[in-house]
Copies of this chain bind each other. A is one copy, B any other.
Amino acid sequence: MSVEFSVSLGERSYPIYIGQNLLSDVGFLQGIVAERSVAIVSNETVAPLYMDALVKALGDRVKIKVLLPDGEQYKTLDTLSRIFDQLLGAQCDRSTLLIALGGGVVGDVAGFAAACYQRGIAFMQVPTTLLAQVDSSVGGKTAVNHPSGKNMIGAFYQPEAVIIDVDTLSSLDDRELRAGLAEVIKYGLIRDEAFFSWLEENIDRLLARDADALVYAIERSCRNKAEVVAADELEHGERALLNLGHTFGHAIETATDYSSWLHGEAIAVGMLMAMVFSERVGLLGQEQRQRAENLIKRAGLPLIPPSELDAQTFVKHMRHDKKVLNGTIRLILMRKIGEAFVSSDYDEDRLLLEINSILDIHK
């Protein structure tokens, strides 16, 4: 089972391939790489698993393999600089194709390296985690972190193709798989109620890593993301919906120093907080919030924010986010499952009050 569809961005359009055995399909890989020289950027965890297959398929097209240390803490300008050193050392030129093989960190850093190297070279995303497959590999956001904030330095830079081989998920640990499901559920919540219902039916198949179910869930997620990105590539409007739960989640990740919570876990709690706030201000029905909470729970994701956080700190961290515009925190709120919207038109005192109340309940 394998599917292919396109992210429609005019002359920057590109295909997404989703299926099994893609990384061992020599003809397929050689076909899309053609005769170009290739630089593969991966990390020390992923490379031992999948690098050989790629190198076997691409042969002496592969000019250099760049291995990054594994972890969000290496998503820095320093790491970027080291990638440039190696690309230049291998005399990679403007015609070199960069392949990002790994999870979200590898994709973000390698994609940004491709965006900047000699003012931009072609690159492909080969995401190997569910989170990267349904989120970061599609849409062209690339970045590194800055000590003052996540993804503060980066570019909108579209890949030439995204290759999603679901077989790579067999090596993913359960916690990472569940974290990825948070973003999958997000697409249902923000704009695709039918998909949300499908997820309610099939969440156990996904947790059991049924290949057909994974291909379908990834396809549907990527199609949703592709549609949003096509409508608003540079995040001036609708694309902000993809941030459901992210401003709340960002506060959790910052407060816990990006160490104890996975991104998807923080997003799960963040989405729920956005829904509880939507419910409290009368936008979202209680039964809708409950349905969402049930699915998040069945996916094995956390439901409550870390106990050490107080509401003031929470809002302070929310404010220190790229999504803040002219000082106002823009929230993604919900009207019902399948319908989210961007709001700057809420009472900030009320927000503080409700966050306080949410945190209190769980103390």
Spell out A's residues near B (CB within 8 Å): 77, 80-81, 84-85, 88-89, 93-95, 115-120, 141-143, 146, 148-149, 151-156, 234, 322, 324-327
Contacts and interface: CB of A to CB of B under 8 A. Distances in A.
Contact of A156 (B119, B142, B146, B156): B119
A146 B326 contact: no
Contacts of A155: 115-116, 119-120, 155
A89 B148 contact: yes
Contacts of A89: 148
Contacts of A142: 119
Given A81-B77, A88-B148, A93 B322 contact: yes
A82 to B, nearest CB: 11
B117 A325 contact: no
Nearest to A119: B154
Contact of A143 (B93, B119, B149): B119
A266 to B, nearest CB: 20
Contact of A93 (B118, B146, B154, B326): B326
Nearest to A325: B95
A146 B95 contact: no
Contacts of A143: 119
Chain A residues touching B, majority SS:
mixed
11 contacts: A77-B77, A77-B80, A84-B152, A85-B146, A88-B146, A93-B322, A93-B324, A93-B327, A117-B153, A118-B154, A119-B155
A346 B81 CA distance: 36
A116 B153 contact: yes
Contacts of A154: 116, 118-119
A120 B95 CA distance: 25
B146 A325 contact: no
In order of increasing CB-CB distance, the 8 nearest A-B pairs are A88-B148, A119-B154, A116-B153, A118-B322, A77-B81, A95-B326, A119-B156, A95-B325
Contacts of A326: 93, 95
A234 B93 contact: no
Nearest to A77: B81
Contacts of A151: 119
B116 A84 contact: no
Contacts of A119: 141-143, 151, 154-156, 322
A85 B148 CA distance: 8
Given A88-B149, A93-B326, 6 more contacts: A85-B148, A93-B327, A94-B322, A116-B116, A116-B154, A118-B152
Contacts of A322: 93-94, 118-119
A332 to B, nearest CB: 16
Nearest to A144: B116
A325 B77 contact: no
A94 B155 CA distance: 13
A171 to B, nearest CB: 31
A209 B33 CA distance: 54
Contact of A325 (B94, B148, B324): B94
